[in-house]
Chains A and B, each alone.
Chain A
Amino acid sequence: MQLTNRKKVVVKKEMSLAEKLYLPAITNGMVITMKHFFKKGATVRYPEVKREISETYRGQHVLKRDEQGAERCTACGLCAVACPAEAITMEAAERKKGEETLYREEKYAAVYEINMLRCIFCGLCEEACPKEAIFLTDRIVPTDLKRDEFVYGKDKLVEDINHRIDLSGRQTKEVLEFKKDKTKAHNQTWADKQKLLKENKHH
């Protein structure tokens, strides 16, 4: 049947005499495998050596803190809505006085859980977050023996204040440029705001 003029028959089923004799093709194949025998292997010796993982890799999540160490998440719930696997649960709470250095906004996630068995690492939560709070990283979720252990709470998700995770590679140039602008409300930490308030009073 001819539908187009791009047709090209690619199969040749008749065997030449040399092909019928088995041995030339087998020898040929054995030469190829022998070439590979002396080639360097492609294996990465995993636990000791780690493959270079791209910066955009969608691995284990992290809940970011800001420069002052306050949690960025404001429990808006967009990530939970965006999640196609329904893996994210959260409970919001109101920030009390004195907790300003712990939580960046007036509302924060008292409970934030991701069920890593449900999560499909599609990255939609990161796309949904309007607060730069949740990111996927190039880390890999470790295995475990119990199902309970896969429900990651804030203890595992929020980044360690002493071991910050650099995510600048995931963000576009425009975002990085924008973040330098301290006049924008988005970029101001609580301390910045206090400073601004003071300056305004002086004026």
Chain B
Amino acid sequence: MLTFIIYKSILVLIVFLISLGVAAYATYGERKVAAFMQDRIGPDRAGPFGIFQPLADGLKMFMKEEIIPTVSNKFLFILGPSLAMLTALMAGVVVPWGGKLAIGDHFYPLQITDINIGILYVFGVVSFGVYGIMIGGWASNNKYSLLGALRASSQMISYEIAMGLAIVALVMKTGTLSLGEMVAQQGTGGWWNIVYQPLGFLIFLICAFAETNRAPFDLPECETELVGGYHTEYSSMKLGFYLFAEYINIFISSAVISTLYFGGFNLPFQSHIPLDGNWLVIAQTAFFFGKVIFFIFFFMWVRWTIPRFRYDQLMNLGWKILIPLAIFNILATGVLMYALGKV
């Protein structure tokens, strides 16, 4: 029992630190990616190639003067970024980061907990994530912040529906809500789910962009219209929390996308690879992170390429295109499964 708790605590700590680390380096990555795409160099002063830039940024965030507007609601003003950070960090619990490590006689799965409704848990956490933005935006007592908060809440609620419907089709195919089991299914014999659910993947991907408030759906914070959106009034580490939460969200959604549609930690042609035991587990974990990093890169790639939607167009896309498409996807999945005798 005690070893179990210690092992879980260590795992939680590792996932926590990795989330923070990846988020920190995602800020660096974002700047570098943007720079390369725009024929620039990007940060290159702190350390070789600027790799200590996140540390410098973090230090700066901590040292900066903290400004809390006098007319704001102080408690909620502080609660906002904290909630954003909290919900961002919570979703990593159910993601299977790798197979089972064998140490001595014991097996240690690289997943904090494999609850049988894992995907619903992720969904619940995501649906709760909007509060951080809403509360922060409202408590700032600034009209731009308020507009950002209102945009964020309606956008996230609208896209949750399409996202949920996309997942429904996937769940019909896999027959389970547990992420661990989904990965296992994709590992043994079957193709990755992207082959079965290309449309569902596309819808899920678009909704993931919307849920993480990334371009082309970065309306809540779009700097050319709302100055800074919900975090206009924030400064110092509270602003840092908001930015961090966004990158952690990207990290987690990349991990979830890889898990759901790209075979999780499975290697392609896994049965032909002459690796076994812990080496395989390590290779799998590394490959999983490779996939995650690719998707993080993809998020950035899209952001630095396309313009953003307008509020009403965003709603039209969500309600009039994505939701009908997702329903059609469910229908098609059902019909196909029935036709192939899988039911």
Q: CB within 8 Å of B: which residues of A? A: 26, 29-30, 32-34, 36-43, 45
Contacts and interface: CB of A to CB of B under 8 A. Distances in A.
Contact of B40 (A29, A30, A34, A42): A42
Given A29-B306, A30-B302, A33-B304, A43 B41 contact: yes
Contacts of B301: 30, 33-34
A36 B305 contact: no
Interface string B171-210: 0000000000000000000000000000000000000000
B96 to A, nearest CB: 30
Contacts of A32: 305
Contact of A26 (B33, B37, B305): B305
B36 A36 contact: yes
A42 B304 contact: no
Contacts of B40: 41-43
Nearest to A31: B305
A187 B100 CA distance: 90
A72 to B, nearest CB: 42
B302 to A, nearest CB: 7
Contacts of A39: 39
Interface in B1-53: 33, 35-41, 44
A45 B36 CA distance: 15
Given A43-B41, A45-B41, A37 B305 contact: no
Given A43-B41, A45-B41, A30 B305 contact: yes
A36 B39 contact: yes
B38 A36 contact: yes
Contacts of A43: 39-41
Q: Interface residues of B: mostly helix, strand, loop or mixed? A: loop
Contacts of B35: 41
Nearest to A23: B202
Contacts, number: 37
B305 A33 contact: yes
Given A30-B301, A43-B41, A45-B41, A37 B36 contact: yes
Contact of A36 (B37, B44, B302): B37
A42 B305 contact: no
A42 B39 contact: yes
B306 A37 contact: no
A26 B36 contact: no
A42 B33 CA distance: 15
Given A30-B301, A33-B301, A41 B306 contact: no
Contacts of A26: 302, 305-306
Contact of B37 (A33, A40, A42, A45): A33
A41 B42 CA distance: 10
B278 to A, nearest CB: 36
26 contacts: A26-B305, A26-B306, A29-B305, A30-B301, A30-B302, A32-B305, A33-B37, A33-B301, A33-B304, A33-B305, A36-B36, A36-B37, A36-B38, A37-B36, A37-B37, A38-B36, A39-B39, A40-B39, A41-B40, A41-B41, A42-B39, A42-B40, A43-B39, A43-B40, A43-B41, A45-B44
A175 to B, nearest CB: 40
B36 A41 contact: yes
A121 B301 CA distance: 42
A29 B302 CA distance: 9
Contacts of A41: 35-36, 39-41
Contacts of B41: 41, 43, 45
Given A34-B301, A41-B40, A43-B39, 12 more contacts: A26-B302, A26-B305, A29-B306, A33-B37, A36-B36, A36-B39, A37-B33, A38-B36, A42-B40, A43-B40, A43-B41, A45-B44
Nearest to A39: B39
A137 to B, nearest CB: 28
A34 to B, nearest CB: 7
Nearest to A38: B36
Contacts of A30: 301-302, 305
Contacts of B33: 37
A2 B158 CA distance: 48
Residue picked from A30, A33, A41, most chain B C-beta under 10 Å: A33
Interface in B265-308: 301-302, 304-306
Contacts of A33: 37, 301, 304-305
B48 to A, nearest CB: 14
Contacts of B38: 36
B325 to A, nearest CB: 12
